[in-house]
Amino acid sequence: QGYKVQGILDNNSLLDGNELEGLIVSTPSSLFRNKNTDMSDMVVIVCVERHHIYNEIAQQLTDFGLEKDQILHKVFDSEVDEG
C-alpha cells in the first residue's frame, strides 16, 4: 500500500510556496498554523541523512500536534571519514 504525496515540508522559509515536481513546498509552521489543516489522517515521511536530525524533526512535528505513529522515517546514515 502506498501513500498519496500531497506536498513537501522543508524548514527553509525561502522554499515556502515554491513548487517541486508538481508538489507545493511548505514550512511546517506555515502548514500547521493553518487552522483548516486536517491532521487526523496526515502522515509525514521524513527522509534525512542523520538520525539526530530525524529526532529534531520528529520533535518539531509532535510539537505541532502530530502523533508519533503519524511520522515515518528513513535515515540515510552516511559514514563520515574523519581520518
**Model pLDDT, residue 83:** 46
**Model pLDDT, residue 80:** 52
**Model pLDDT, residue 2:** 81
pLDDT in tens, 12-60: 999 999 999 999 999 988 888 877 778 888 899 998 888 889 999 999 9
pLDDT in tens, 61-75: 999 989 999 999 987
C-alpha distances (whole Å) from 59 to each of 19, 36, 37, 67, 80 are 26, 22, 19, 10, 25
